[in-house]
A = this chain, B = another copy of it.
Amino acid sequence: MPVNRVLRADAARNRSSLLAAAAEEFAARGIDASVADIARRAGVGKGTVFRHFPTKDDLLAAVVLDRVDELAGLARRLFRADDPGAALFELLAAAAGKQQQLDLSFLREAGDINERLRAARERLFAAIVAMVERAQAAGAVRADVTGLDVILLMCAPAHVAGFVPTASPETWRRYLAIIIDGLRPEGAHPLPEPSP
């Protein structure tokens, strides 16, 4: 049993090295980052990657799961905040900042994903929906947008800031601010198309 314990500690250490290395590589090279590079960056053999994550996709899912879990935790904490609008916008900023490191667009692929990831995503989405409703009730967000609208739009700042790799790594904040201004009730024009 102690032997087992030690091995587990090793395995756990490897697992987190791998997650960290994968996050960095996916951020830097996109979804095409190679398993070999991730293994090298984590300082383990290629085979170890596959012992922990049966598939490259599973590794990616695990990385995303980390981010989603962090966001869901933050959402839980922010839900009780005094200013519902500020709380929502803070969550959106956190989400956009995460994406700066990893395009969460992966979220969309709902089909053959990890079950745990799907669950975490649902938790996060439910939290965001609730926060949006609270912010709308407080008059901080226009009434004609849905939680899903906000979820989708929160992916935009990192995406468009990524077009200018030479810019400051905080550039996404500028575009989030513009989008948030679009989400406010003041000066809102009627929206075409229903929310999906």
Binding site for B on A (CB under 8 A): 32, 105, 107-108, 145, 148-149, 152-153, 155-156, 159-168, 170-171, 173-175, 177-184, 186-189, 191-196
Interface pair B193/A188, CB less than 8 Å apart = no
Interface pair A163/B170, CB less than 8 Å apart = no
Return A31 CB to nearest CB of chain B, in Å. 9
Interface pair A188/B196, CB less than 8 Å apart = no
Interface pair B192/A177, CB less than 8 Å apart = yes
Given contacts A152-B175, A182-B180, contact A166 B32 (CB under 8 A): no
Closest to A190 in B: B177
Interface pair B180/A193, CB less than 8 Å apart = no
Return A48 CB to nearest CB of chain B, in Å. 15
Number of copies of this chain that the complex holds: 4
Interface pair A179/B178, CB less than 8 Å apart = yes
Interface pair B152/A160, CB less than 8 Å apart = yes
Among B108, B148, B178, B183, which residue has its beta carbon within 8 angstroms of that of A183? Answer: B178
Identify the interface centre among A145, A167, A179, A180: most chain B CB within 10 Å of its CB: A179
B contact residues around A189 at 8 Å (CB):
177, 180-181
Closest to A163 in B: B108
Among B163, B168, B177, B196, which residue has its beta carbon within 8 angstroms of that of A191? Answer: B177
Closest to A164 in B: B196
Interface pair A174/B192, CB less than 8 Å apart = yes
Interface pair B174/A149, CB less than 8 Å apart = yes
Among B170, B174, B180, which residue has its beta carbon within 8 angstroms of that of A195? Answer: B174
Interface pair B153/A178, CB less than 8 Å apart = yes
**Distance between Cα atoms of A174 and B195 in the complex (Å):** 8
B contact residues around A162 at 8 Å (CB):
105, 108
- 20 further contact pairs, Cβ within 8 A, besides A168-B194, A174-B195, A177-B189: A148-B164, A149-B174, A149-B178, A152-B163, A155-B163, A156-B179, A167-B196, A168-B193, A168-B196, A173-B193, A174-B194, A177-B192, A178-B179, A178-B182, A179-B179, A180-B182, A181-B187, A181-B189, A182-B182, A186-B186
